[in-house]
């Protein structure tokens, strides 16, 4: 498994198993256990996914040592602000049944971002979180908040796939050595993407499926990726991308698929308010 060194000196496996929208009390436990069994060592959950406890149980039951698995969770908007965030970090640790998280992210860049970030910085100093980062920050949002942060985030987890390659954001993050983590790295199963002829031709050439070509392209292009699947064969296959290499020319051709547009626009007016009212994770 390829690992990536972050700007705080920690390392993270380049492929993580994402558990967004997998229900708690069984399905997330099974999927995470399966993922760990076939070799994933990085699990990406969030308070708002409501499945941290299944992730924690699966890690415990996997037989792996805690330090062998990289666990990310995220602070939900409802718990932004300094005091709320401090409590929410402890709640995530409790649900996970762990005494530290490898990484904790601000899930969405709205409301009291500065207070929430301060709580993450303090939790890092206290050893509750090893690495801190942000999510869903466009160039505009990044430029608004980051100059006010004391600590530079290690990652920005954003939507990213061959149709939406985040080139503008990468121009800002690359010189700072802030890594992009890609959510929806397969375009959320977008059939137009999975059936794109450039991708299917490469799949044929390398004896891989289209998903594996997409994921290989992304990792080779320096991204940390979080493919999601509940299908055991695909869970395993999505990790099987390290026995071939795309040529420089193929990488350039794939870079040409970028349309600059994704499914979610964090800059759109009212997004923060909408998310906050749509997802309540506690009273
Ligand atoms: P399934 O759970 O049946 O495997 P993303 O990670 O971009 O959100 O994409 C997840 C979607 O892509 C899910 O619908 C998942 O379905 C599907 N998927 C996961 N891996 C692959 C793959 N290798 N090829 C095609 N589809 C995939």
Dihedral in degrees, nearest 10, Cα atoms 2, 68, 39, 74: -80
pLDDT score, position 249: 98
What's the CA gap between 187 and 192, in Å, rounded?
9
Q: Among the atoms of ligand 1, which is closest to the Cα of residue 184?
A: 7
Q: Among the atoms of ligand 1, which is closest to the Cα of residue 229?
A: 2
Residue 230 banded pLDDT, cuts 50, 70, 90: confident
Query: For all residues of the chain together, what is the average pLDDT?
Result: 97
Bridge partners, 72 (sequence order): 44, 103
Mean pLDDT of 21-44: 95
Looking at the chain, how many residues does it have? 283
Tell the residue nearest (CA) to atom 12 of ligand 1.
189
Closest by CA to 157, choosing from 137, 181, 133, 178, is: 181
Mean pLDDT of 163-174: 98
Strands 11-13, 3-5: pairing is: antiparallel
For ligand 1, pick from 225, 234, 236 the residue to mutate: most ligand atoms within 8 Å of CB.
234
Query: Got the DSSP string for 209-221?
Result: -HHHHHHHHHHHT
Closest by CA to 118, choosing from 78, 80, 90, is: 80
Q: Among the atoms of ligand 1, which is closest to the Cα of residue 214?
A: 23
Q: Among the atoms of ligand 1, which is closest to the Cα of residue 194?
A: 25
CA of 186 to the centre of ligand 1 (A): 6
- Apex CA 3: angle with CA 151 and CA 225, to 5°? 80
For ligand 1, pick from 15, 20, 189, 208 the residue to mutate: most ligand atoms within 8 Å of CB.
189
Question: Each residue of 83-136: pLDDT tens digit?
Answer: 999 999 999 999 999 999 999 999 999 999 999 999 999 999 999 999 999 999
Tell the residue nearest (CA) to atom 8 of ligand 1.
188
Tell the residue nearest (CA) to atom 4 of ligand 1.
229
pLDDT score, position 207: 98
Tell the residue nearest (CA) to atom 23 of ligand 1.
211
Coil/strand/helix, residue 156: strand
**Residue 252 main-chain phi, psi, to 5 deg:** -65, -40
For ligand 1, pick from 46, 163, 228 the residue to mutate: most ligand atoms within 8 Å of CB.
228
Bridge partners, 15 (sequence order): 225
pLDDT score, position 240: 97
Angstrom CA distances, 69 to 122, 195, 212, 255, stand at 23, 33, 23, 31
Q: What percent of the chain has pLDDT over 70?
A: 100
Which structure tokens are listed for 229? 């699947």
Question: Each residue of 208-227: pLDDT tens digit?
Answer: 999 999 999 999 999 999 99
Residue 229 banded pLDDT, cuts 50, 70, 90: confident
**Residues lining ligand 1, judged by CB closer than 6 Å?**
184-189, 194, 209, 211-212, 227-231, 234, 237-238
CA of 114 to the centre of ligand 1 (A): 35
Element (H, E) at 35: helix 27-37
pTM value surpassing 0.85? yes
pLDDT score, position 1: 84
Mean pLDDT of 168-194: 97
Residue 29 has pLDDT above 90, yes or no: yes
Question: Which amino acids are annotated catalytic?
Answer: 49
The CB density around residue 94, as the number of other CB atoms within 10 Å, is: 12
Tell the residue nearest (CA) to atom 19 of ligand 1.
229
Tell the residue nearest (CA) to atom 11 of ligand 1.
189
């Amino acid at each position: 498994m390829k690992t990536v060194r972050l700007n705080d000196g920690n390392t993270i496996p380049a492929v993580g198993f994402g558990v967004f929208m997998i229900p708690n009390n069984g399905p997330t436990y099974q999927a995470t256990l399966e993922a760990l069994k076939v070799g994933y060592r990085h699990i990406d959950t969030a308070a708002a996914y409501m499945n941290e406890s299944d992730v924690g149980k699966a890690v415990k039951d996997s037989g792996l040592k805690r330090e062998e698995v990289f666990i990310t969770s995220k602070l939900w908007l409802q718990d932004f602000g300094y005091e709320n965030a401090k409590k929410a970090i402890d709640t995530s640790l409790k649900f996970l049944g762990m005494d530290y998280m490898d990484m904790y992210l601000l899930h969405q860049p709205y409301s009291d971002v500065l207070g929430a970030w301060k709580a993450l910085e303090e939790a890092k100093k206290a050893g509750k979180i090893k690495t801190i980062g942000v999510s869903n920050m466009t160039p505009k949002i990044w430029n608004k908040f980051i100059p006010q942060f004391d600590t530079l985030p290690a990652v920005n987890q954003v939507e990213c796939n061959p149709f939406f390659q985040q080139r503008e954001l990468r121009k800002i993050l690359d010189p700072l050595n802030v890594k992009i983590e890609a959510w929806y790295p397969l375009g959320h199963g977008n059939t137009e993407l999975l059936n794109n002829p450039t991708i299917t031709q490469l799949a044929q050439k390398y004896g891989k499926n289209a998903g594996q070509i997409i994921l290989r392209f992304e990792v080779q292009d320096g991204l940390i990726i979080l493919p999601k699947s509940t299908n055991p064969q695909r869970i395993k296959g999505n990790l099987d991308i390290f026995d071939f290499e795309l040529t420089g020319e193929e990488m350039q051709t794939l870079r040409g698929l970028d349309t600059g547009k994704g499914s979610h626009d964090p800059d759109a007016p009212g997004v923060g308010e909408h998310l906050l009212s749509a997802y309540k994770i506690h009273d």
